[in-house]
Amino acid sequence: MLKVFSFLKPYRFLVWVALFLMFMELIVELVQPLLLAKIIDDGIMNQDLDMVLKWGGIMLAISFLAFFSGIINSYYAADVSQSMGYDIRNALYHKIQTFTFRSLERFATSSLITRMTNDVAQIQNTVFMGLRIMLRAPLVVIGGMIMIMTVHLKIGLIFMIIIPCLLVLLSWVLKKGKMLFTDVQKKLDQINHIMRENLVGIRLIKAFVRREHEGRRFVKGNKDLMLHTITALRLMEVTMPLLLLVMNAGIMAVLWFGHITIEAGGATVGEVVAIVNYATRITSAFTLFSMIVVVFSRARASAERITDVLETKNEPRTLTKSEHQVNQGSIKFQHVSFRYSSSEHDILNDISFNVNHGETVAIMGATGSGKSTLFQLIPRLYEVNQGEIFIDGQRIEAYEEKALRESIGYVPQETFLFSGTIKDNLSWGNEQASLEEMINATKDAQIHEMIERLPNQYDTKIGQKGVNLSGGQKQRLSIARALIRKPKILLLDDSTSALDVKTEAKFLESLQSYSCTTLIITQKLSTAMMADQIVLMDEGKIIAKGDHQTLLKESQLYLTLYQSQHRRGATLHA
């Protein structure tokens, strides 16, 4: 909680203004019963109209003061809560942007979205209510008790016994409520995860006629959320009738003993009316406690979830401020091993190979052999566990991350395009790129002619993830986005899989004009054969490397793969 509410510091002045105005309302609320007692004892009981008008006028004046204080307080409370929410969302966003891939593995995407939206909204709501009514309610209880004891000590002892017992009950409910609402937020994460999967995979769901299956998943998740929410709210709702029953019993006791005391001459009518008035106000404050406990319990759960993200520590990394630049793009892996934090076994085991400047290396291997993981180590998306990677003869840690990544063109296995125009997506590779540079990159990626046929050409809007483009078109746009960087190192993670042989050959030929080192993950021998070097991987290890002719002679696995694809190609040709 302290971590999250530290975001209030920049708005301390506004918080104090809002609290001051809230105290103005509170003072008026606590003074009014005393004025009412004056009106009864000094005015009505003595039949003195002037006293009634005098104290009545004062009551009316301070009521207007409380009214305007409440309006201004609401304005400042809303300003503070919205500004604080804005800052928390910014902090969460920037923190997530600094996460290493290892840190991201801790949180599901849907959970991070929930924390940045629903959880922040819970905090905003709590801050607003805290500055508006949440602090006022307990202060009314405390202030009311003090005023009751001031008016008449003996009658007030009734509430001195009742109210502490009720506060202990509320404390227990608050603790229990925090646990229940933490479970509610987790169930909300789950339902958001199901919804996100369904929206992203809607085409696949329809193609496989799995709507009913996914519908059942959603109904189950939705029902779990409903049941957990009902359980949490039920505890809160059961608490309030009990509180009101005890408080109303106390008021009845005050009226009973007050009547006896008045007859004995130990109290005035005005004092008993004032005590009943204070008791009524305390009872009204207790009616707010149900809502306060719900809001505060949710806020505690949400604050812990937000703090969990903000205090997540990335793995130890060597952060360098260096003027080193990647000039050539030569790469050397030296006894590199790596494993994911969630894995018990190495994904890469003792990887060693060299790539000279300007060479093209094809990396082949079965699914799960560690090819994509190897790629992610080069831009330092992950840190190696053992061994070292060198670029241009310098250890990779010697380069500043920004400079290193700006020298790399990376086309991931899963093509991702952003909503916006084609030009917007190409600009991701180089914000300063001119239209001419974009055209050159798309020509080399073999996508320019398709763009020219579109109604708005480079200003054509594409849906999120490129939903209105074919697989091959998305791949070629992603390649163009990487080429426009004029990278020193180009990483193509199975990014030509959707291209036909002719288009792929043209693209690979166009790469010859780029002064960069190229690594291609591929399953196509036609692609591998054009490379200067082929690295064959299996179960995280390099089992063979060399050019096409060398591997045909030295690797039985490569020979078998070649014969298999050669026969399949011959059959298709026939």
**What is the H or E stretch that residue 334 is in?**
strand 331-338
Do the two domains 328-407+495-574 and 415-486 of this chain adopt the same fold? yes
At 570 the pLDDT is 42
Q: 150 in helix, strand or coil?
A: helix
At 464 the pLDDT is 58
Class of domain 328-407+495-574: alpha beta
Give the burial string for 256-277 (b: 16+ CB within 10 Å, else e).
Answer: ebbeebeeeeebbebbbbbbbb
Number of Cβ within 10 Å of residue 303's Cβ equals 21
Alpha carbon distance 15, 316 (integer Å): 38
At 571 the pLDDT is 40
DSSP assignment of 429-478, as one string? T-TT--HHHHHHHHHHTT-HHHHHHSTTGGG-EE-GGGTTS-HHHHHHHH
Contacting residues for 110 by C-beta, under 8 A, at least 6 apart: 189, 190, 192, 193, 195, 196
Q: Which of 93, 120, 103 has its CA nearest to residue 303?
A: 120
Class of domain 415-486: alpha beta
Report how far apart, in Å, the C-alpha atoms of 274 and of each of 133, 286, 449, 570 are: 23, 18, 86, 101
Residues listed for the chain: 574
Q: What is the pLDDT along the chain (574 residues), one digit of tens a residue?
A: 678 878 888 988 998 998 888 888 878 877 877 777 777 777 777 777 777 788 788 888 888 888 888 889 888 989 988 999 899 889 888 888 887 777 777 777 777 888 888 888 888 888 888 888 777 777 777 777 777 777 777 777 777 777 777 777 777 777 777 777 778 877 887 887 787 777 767 766 766 667 787 788 888 888 888 888 888 777 766 776 777 777 777 777 777 777 777 777 777 777 777 777 777 777 777 767 667 777 777 787 788 888 888 888 776 665 566 667 778 888 999 998 988 877 778 888 888 888 888 888 888 887 778 888 888 888 888 888 888 989 888 888 888 888 888 888 888 877 777 777 888 888 887 878 888 888 888 888 888 888 888 788 888 887 655 556 777 788 888 888 888 888 888 898 887 777 777 887 788 888 788 888 889 888 888 788 888 888 888 888 888 888 888 888 877 777 877 777 665 554 433 3
Q: Which of 245, 279, 273 has its CA nearest to residue 259?
A: 273
Q: 348 in helix, strand or coil?
A: strand
Residues 405 and 379 sit within 8 Å (Cβ to Cβ): yes
The residue written with tokens 């059959």 in the block is 571
Radius of gyration of the chain (CA): 35
CATH code of the domain made up of 2-189+226-310: 1.20.1560.10
The residue written with tokens 């991350």 in the block is 401
At 317 the pLDDT is 60
Residues 482 and 425 sit within 8 Å (Cβ to Cβ): no
What are the extents of the domains in the chain?
2-189+226-310, 328-407+495-574, 415-486
Alpha carbon distance 496, 471 (integer Å): 10
What is the three-state SS of 368-424? CCCHHHHHHHCCCCCCCCEEEEEECCEEHHHCCHHHHHHCEEEECCCCCCCCEEHHH
Alpha carbon distance 93, 98 (integer Å): 9
Contacting residues for 464 by C-beta, under 8 A, at least 6 apart: 417, 418, 419
The residues with which 334 forms a beta bridge, in sequence order, are 388
